[in-house]
Chain A
Amino acid sequence: MTFKDLHIISMKSFSRDMIDHILDTAEKLEPIASGKTKSDMLDGKVLAVMFFEPSTRTRMSFETAMMRLGGDVLSLGSVDASSIAKGETLADTIRVVQGYSNAIVLRHNKEGAAQLASEFSSVPIINAGDGAGHHPTQTFLDLYTIRRESHLEGLKIALAGDLKYGRTVHSLCYALSLYGAEITLISPKELRMPAEIIEDLRSRNIKVTETDSIEEAIADVDVLYATRIQKERFPDPAEYRKVANSLQITTELLEKAKPDLKVMHPLPRTNEIDPKVDDTPHACYFKQSFYGVPVRMALLALVMGALE
């Protein structure tokens, strides 16, 4: 299994063996990620970070990952001030930037942008989100968090919130199906998981249950994964408040949970999680965002050929 020069575009191209290898590598690199050990594994290598739309956390975690491995980061400046604003195509931008770098991290507002970039790039493209499309490094870090803080094998997980639009939740479900998880989907009726995804999961012999109440599901699960509910999805602000309140995770709710239940959330949160939950042993979301660093270090070291 070699990852050298591999484009990281979509979770669909990763087998369970490949995912396990990435997670194993991340675990080995974790002491470097936290600054306990130093490394110059990627000394002399340059990572181009091209964010055509802002996502501060994802960008910072890639930059941290590269710097922790002793490499350098080249950032695309403000898009308004660059030649992109003058109408340069993504294909042209990629063909220029590949000459300056050993790998390119791309975030773009158009779906399929990373696939297109990979057709024009001789250095690996890492998709950091393309429109409503894929965001595979988020899925890897979610899996890593589950493995480190709970367990992937025989997992019972509940996903709560906007399950309709969040494609990262969809990829996470597909990835978890490789590990035989039991999945409970909790959402208001407006934001339910698309039926074809549920069918796909069931055809892979995954037990999927749908409900609209966290209270019903919480006693039985190892991980509760909350996603952000966007106000824009609701034409009526009152309807939004009703949904947001009914899905809020509070300390009272957690009294019904298993003692080792972990609560995850791809930050930033709005009001899905009561801040009082932060001080309980269930809170796992800040660790989850730290785990993005070892996972992205593993991906960078593997695609640039510093690790096998």
Chain B
Amino acid sequence: MSNGETPVPEIRVHPIKNGTVIDHITAGQALNVLNILNIPNAASGVISIIINAPSVHGIKDVVKIEGRELNVDEVDKISLISPKATINIIRNFEVSEKTHVHIPEIVGGVVKCINPNCISNSNEPVSSKFTVSTDGQRIVLRCLYCERIISEDIGNHLL
């Protein structure tokens, strides 16, 4: 570094044979990522969690899961709380695929509407639906039923 500071050391993570490394998770969201993936209930291998790891872009969280690859729904959910996350699929100790999360236009059945008087929170045969947009850094969800907006602490409203 030109200003003489000690360089930020790269996080050295114990390699896994097969599984997924979710990197660049917004700092503080790792536990919500585990919640989305229903971990530890839906996992059999070792799970490693790094919280507040220094990186070139500030601090981040990292989650490593052995023996499991994520599906599209799970990745969509992660994008809502960590729009910059990357998903690395590891096969035979090698990164076989590396993708950025993709922010969907509409999410259904993922987040609960915060409006207690919203029809999606009553006993109707529908799941919640939100349109997704970004306002610079943040994800903004707008309920398709009542139009209420959720833009903070989305992780607390996950279904």
Contact = CB atoms under 8 A, between A and B. Distances in A.
Contacts of B143: 112
A111 B119 contact: yes
B119 A112 contact: yes
Given A116-B119, A131-B117, A111 B146 contact: yes
Interface string A76-92: 00000000000101110
B120 interface: yes
Nearest to A88: B123
Interface string B51-64: 00000000000000
B118 interface: yes
B123 A113 contact: no
Interface in A115-133: 115-116, 119, 130-133
Contact of A109 (B115, B117, B145, B146): B117
A110 interface: yes
A110 to B, nearest CB: 4
B126 interface: yes
Interface string B116-133: 011110111110000000
A188 B122 CA distance: 35
B-side interface mostly: loop
A124 B125 CA distance: 20
Contacts of A111: 115, 117-119, 145-148
B123 A112 contact: no
B27 interface: no
Interface residues of B, number: 16
A109 B121 CA distance: 13
Nearest to B121: A110
A69 to B, nearest CB: 30
Q: Which of B117, B119, B125 has the most CB atoms of chain A within a 10 A radius of its CB?
A: B119
Nearest to A131: B117
B123 A87 contact: yes
Interface in B1-36: none
Contacts of B148: 111
Given A116-B145, A133-B146, A90 B119 contact: yes
Contacts of B119: 90, 108, 110-113, 115-116, 130
A53 to B, nearest CB: 12
Instruction: Say which size band chain A's interface belongs to.
Output: 10 to 19
B144 A115 contact: yes
B118 A110 contact: yes
A115 B145 CA distance: 6
Nearest to B115: A111
B117 A119 contact: no
A89 B143 CA distance: 20
Contacts of A130: 119
A110 B122 contact: yes
Contacts of A132: 117
B117 A116 contact: no
Q: Which of A87, A89, A111, A130 has the most CB atoms of chain B within a 10 A radius of its CB?
A: A111
Interface in A246-291: none
Nearest to A110: B119
Nearest to A12: B147
Contacts of A112: 118-120, 143-147
A91 B125 CA distance: 7
Contacts of B115: 111
Interface in A52-103: 87, 89-91
Contacts of A133: 146-147
A113 B147 CA distance: 12
B147 A116 contact: no
Nearest to B125: A91
Contacts of A91: 124-126
A166 to B, nearest CB: 15
A15 B117 CA distance: 29
Given A111-B118, A112-B143, 11 more contacts: A89-B124, A90-B119, A110-B122, A111-B145, A111-B146, A112-B145, A112-B147, A116-B120, A116-B126, A116-B145, A133-B147
14 contacts: A87-B123, A90-B124, A108-B119, A109-B117, A110-B118, A110-B119, A111-B115, A111-B147, A113-B119, A115-B119, A115-B144, A115-B145, A116-B124, A131-B117
Interface of B: 115, 117-120, 122-126, 143-148
